[in-house]
Amino acid sequence: MDRTAHTLAAAPLAVAIAACLFALPARAETATAADALAQAARRAPTDLDRVEVVGKAEYHYVERNTTSATRTDTPLLDVPQSITVITEDLIDDTAMRGLADAVQYVPGAGMAQGEGHRDAPVLRGNTSTADLFVNGMRDDVQYFRDLYNVERVEVLKGPNAMIFGRGGTGGVINRVTKQAGWETRREATLQLGSWDRRRLTADLGQGLSDTVAFRVTALYEDSDSFRDGFGLERWGVNPGLAFRIGEGTRLHADVEHFEDRRVTDRGLPSYAVPFEGRRLPVAVDRSVFFGDPDNSPSDFEVNAVNLLVEHTFGNGALLRNRTRWADYDKFYQNVYPGGPARFNAASGRFEVAIAAYNSATKRENLFNQTDFVFELQTGAIEHRLLAGAEFGRQETDNRRLTGSFPSNTCYGATTTASFCVPLANPRYNGPVTFFQSATDADNHVEATVAAAYVQDQIEFSPQWQAVLGLRYDRFEVDFLNRRNGTTIVTEDDLWSPRAGLIYKPREDVSLYASYGLTYLPRSGEQMSSLTPSNAAFDPEEYENRELGAKWDIKPDLSLTAAVYRLERSNVIAPDPANPARSILVDGERIEGVEIGLAGNITEAWRVMGGYAWQDGEILAGADRGRRPANLPEETASLWNRYDFSQAWGVGFGVVYRGAFFAQTNNAVTLKSFTRYDAALYYTPSEHVELQLNVENLFDKRYFVSSHNDNNLSPGSPRAAYVSMTVKF
C-alpha cells in the first residue's frame, strides 16, 4: 500500500540538539587511560592476533558497545537507534529484581500491569508480552523474568524486525545473561526487608583449565508484599560452560531451570461515576485485595538449553551459531475485580463485581541463528557485512476456562457470571466453578519461521556512516481451535527493511536519521487470536522514523537524544459505508522525544537518568482520537550514587511519571506522581559489602500501572531492604 511519508513533528528539536552538540567546546587533549584504550581499540587492525583481557573498565552505568542492535560488535555511538542499557552495577546498586524495576530508568518505556502474572512492557506507547529476548533469542511466553542471572538489560526502541524478526512493535527488551569465562567469581547475596522479603542469590565461576571454564548463577526467594494475601516463591539455577577449541573457536553452553509461584494480583477497581470529569481508583487502603488470593495462583516453569559456537577467521571475519531450546509451562487463575464500584441504593453501599477465569499455556520453542560477519573495502569505502539465517519452530497449547459463581444480584441483575461484594469488605471466599464457555480458547498452534537477512555497515569517511539491512521472514501458522474443530493455516512473507545514516562531526559525537519497519501477523503476539475473518488480511505494519544525537562526553559518560514518529497501519476496522464489511485503516500514531544520561560525572559520582515526552493518538475505531493506555505525556528519572570513600557511599533517586489513562477509552485517569528512593553502601573489606535500599522514601501514595479501568496496581508504600554480599 502506497503511503505518504510524514515529517517528524519534533524535528526542530533534533536540529537544536545537533546545534548544541556542534557548539560544545573541544575536549581537552589530555585523555584518561580508559579513553586512550578505547581509541586504540577503535584504531586496531583486524588482522592482529586476538587477545582476551580478563576484567572490565570501570564504566559502572554505561556500556560502550553492543552486539544486539546490529549482530556485530559495534560502538553504541555508531548505532542509528535509541538504545538504553541497564548495567549490572545499576541493577545491584538499586536492588532491582525484575524488568519492571529496570524500565523505570529507560526513557520512553514503562510497564503495564500484565494482569498480575506477566511482564508487559510499554515501549513507545505499544504494550507487548512477546517482544522479550534473552541473548538475542526469542523468549516470548508470558511470565515475570528475574534478573538473578543477568549481566545487563538492553532496551532497543522502535521496530527491530531486521534483527529480531516479527513483532517488536515499539521496541524489544533483550536480557544478556552472565556467561562462563576465565575470571574468578565467588559471591553470594542475601537480601532481607519489608514484608518478609527473603532473597538469596549466588554467582560462582572460574577457569578450570586454559580451555575450560564454568559459571553458575542461582536464586531462591520467598517473599510477601504490602498487598494482603500476596505471596511469592521462586527459584532458579543457570549453570554454564565455556570451551576454547583450537585457535579462534569458542563454545558456550548453559541450561536454566526457573520456577515462579505467586498470587495473581490485579489490584484495585475504579469508581463507576466520574468525579470532576474523571473516574478515579476506589478510596481504600492500598493493601486491600479484591477477590480471592487463596484461589488466584500463578505457577510458571521454564527449562531452557542455550548453545553458542563462534569462530574467528581473522581479517574481521566471524562465524556465529546460536541455538535455544526452551520448554514453558504456565498456569494462572484469578478471582479478581471484574467491574467498577457502583452504589447500590437498595443496600446503601458501594459494590464491586468479582469475576474469575483460569488459563493454561504450554509452549516449546526451538530457534537456531547463524551469522557470518566479514569486512571488505571498495576503494575508500569500508564495509562490515552481515549475512544470516534464522529457523524456528514454536508449538503451543493454550486453554482458558471461565469462572461461574452462585446466583446473586449484581449491579441490579441476577447473574452467575460475577458476584458482587461490598466495597468495605471486597474479599470473596465462596465457591467458583470453572467451565469452558462458547468463547474460551482451546487451541493448538504450530508456528514456523525461516528467515534470511543481510546488512551492510558502511563507512564512507571518518564523518559519514550508514547502516542498511533487509530481512525476509517466511512465517507460517497452523492453528487448530479444539473447541469447534476449525483449522486455519496462514502464510506471511515479511520483508523488513532498515536504514540509518550517521554523521560524526567529531569522534565522540554522532547525529543520525533512521527508518525501520516491522510486522505483527494476524495470529497476534501470542499466536492465540487467529480467526477465519482476520486471517485473510495482511499483517499490521509499524513504521518508525527517528532523528537522534549521541555524545560520549567522556569514555564513561554518555548523553543521548532522539525524536521519533511511530505509525501503526493495516488495522482491521468496520467499513463506515458497510459495517458488515471490514477494511484496513491506519490505527495509531505515537511521537516523542527521549533524552538519556548514563555514566560517571566524577570518579566518585555516577548517574543514570532519562526524560521522555510522548504524544499518542488512536486513529480509528471506537476509541478514535483518544490516547493509548499507560502512556504518560512526560516521564523522568535520575539515580545517583556518590562514594565518599572506598568504604562509604550513598544513593538517591527520583522517578516521575505523568498522569495516564488506564484504558484506551480514556475513562479512568491515574494521577501523576513523583517517588524518591535512597540507598546507603558500606564496604568494610574487599570480601563484604553491605547495602540498605529504601523505596518510596516519603511514603507517596500512587498508582504505577493498569491493565484496564478496574485492574489498577498501587505502588509500594515506604519499604526498606538490607543486602549483604560476601565474596570469597
Give dist(CA 616, CA 588) in Å, integer.
7
| Percent residues over pLDDT 90 in the chain | 84
pLDDT tens digits, residue range 270-318?
A: 999 998 889 999 999 999 999 999 999 999 999 999 999 999 998 889 9
Buried b or exposed e, range 208-246, using 16+ CB within 10 angstroms: eeeeebbbbbbbebebbbbbbbbbbebbbbbbbbbebee
**DSSP structural state of residue 379:** T
Other residues' Cβ atoms within 10 Å of the Cβ of residue 343:
13
What letters, b where the CB count within 10 A reaches 16 and e where it falls short, cover 373-389? bbeeeeeeebebbbebe
Sheet holding 83-87, edge to edge: 83-87, 150-157, 171-177, 132-134, 137-138
Write out the three cell numbers for 570.
493495516
Alpha-carbon distance of 552 to 510, in angstroms, equals: 9
Q: Which residue has the cell 516470548?
A: 140
Residue whose C-alpha cell reads 511519571 in the numeric block = 657
The band of 119, judged by pLDDT with boundaries at 50, 70 and 90, is: very high
Residue-level pLDDT at 535: 83
pLDDT at position 39 over 80:
no
**Distance between CA 670 and CA 633 in Å, rounded?**
12
- pLDDT higher than threshold 70 for residue 217: yes
For residue range 448-471, list pLDDT tens digits in order: 999 999 999 999 999 999 999 999
Look-up of cell digits 548463577: 217
Provide the 3-class DSSP secondary structure of residue 630: coil
Q: What pLDDT, on the 0 to 100 scale, is given for residue 303?
A: 98
Higher pLDDT, 473 or 59: 473
pLDDT above 70 covers a percentage of the chain that reads 92
Q: What is the pLDDT of residue 700?
A: 97
> Minimal CA–CA distance to 22: which of 463, 499, 594, 461?
463
Give the separation between CA 241 and CA 255, rounded to whole angstroms.
9
Average pLDDT (141-166) is 96
pLDDT at 219 over 90: yes
CA distance 650 to 693: 10
Mean pLDDT (the chain) is 91
Q: Give the H or E element holding residue 593.
A: strand 588-600
Residue 691: all three cell numbers together: 547495602
280: Cα separation from own chain's centroid: 28
Is the confidence at residue 52, as pLDDT, over 60?
no
For the cut 90, the answer to whether the pLDDT of residue 563 exceeds it is: yes
| Longest Cα separation, the chain | 86
Confidence of residue 11 (pLDDT cuts 50, 70, 90): very low
Which residue ranges form the domains of the chain, and what is each CATH number?
11-727 (2.40.170.20)
pLDDT single digits (tens) 222-257 = 999 999 999 999 999 999 999 999 889 999 999 999
Q: How far apart are CA 331 and CA 248, in angstroms?
A: 44
| Tens of pLDDT, residues 490-519 | 999 999 999 999 999 999 999 999 999 999
- Whether pLDDT at 430 is above 60: yes
Question: What mean pLDDT is predicted for residues 154-173?
Answer: 94
Q: pLDDT tens across 123-133, in order?
A: 999 999 999 99
Q: In this predicted model, what pLDDT tens digit does every residue of 349-358 receive, in sequence order? A: 999 999 999 9
* pLDDT surpasses 50 at 548: yes
Tell me if 598 sits within 8 A of 58, measured CB to CB. Answer: no
Cα(688)–Cα(646) distance, integer angstroms: 12
Count Cβ atoms below 10 Å from residue 260 Cβ, excluding itself. 22
Tell me the CA distances in angstroms from 107 to 62, 88, 549, 616, one per residue in order: 15, 18, 15, 16
pLDDT at 16 over 70: no
Task: Give pLDDT, residue 14.
Answer: 39
pLDDT at residue 4, as a whole number: 37
What is the model's pLDDT at position 57?
A: 55
Predicted confidence (pLDDT) at residue 669 exceeds the cutoff of 80: yes
Say yes or no to pLDDT of 402 above 60: yes
Give the residue-averaged pLDDT of 420-427: 97
Q: Which of 421, 414, 413 is nearest to 336 (CA)?
A: 421
Task: Summarize pLDDT for 511-531 with one digit per residue, the tens.
Answer: 999 999 999 998 889 988 888
The three three-digit cell numbers of residue 593, written as one number = 522525544
Distance separating alpha carbons of residues 34 and 666, to the nearest angstrom: 50
For 62-97, b where at least 16 C-beta lie within 10 A, e where not — what string?
A: bbbbbbbbbbbebbbbbbbbbbbbbbbbbbbbbbbb
Assigned C-alpha cell, 17: 540538539
Say what the pLDDT of residue 21 is. Answer: 37
With cut-offs at 50, 70 and 90, classify the pLDDT of residue 622: confident
| pLDDT greater than 60 at residue 553 | yes
pLDDT band at 579 (very low <50, low <70, confident <90, very high): confident
From residue 171, alpha-carbon distances to 196, 238, 312 in Å are 35, 27, 30
The DSSP output letter for 273 is: S
Binning pLDDT at 50, 70 and 90, where does residue 204 land? very high
411 DSSP 8-state letter = T
Q: Which pLDDT score is estimated for 629?
A: 96
Q: How confident is the model at residue 326 (pLDDT cuts 50, 70, 90)?
A: very high
Residue 33 has pLDDT above 50, yes or no: no
* Highest mean predicted confidence (pLDDT) among 6-20, 49-63, 290-304: 290-304
Q: CB–CB of 250/310 below 8 Å?
A: yes
Residue 19's pLDDT band (boundaries 50, 70, 90)? very low
**What would the pLDDT profile of 366-381 be if each residue is shown by its tens digit?**
999 999 999 999 999 9
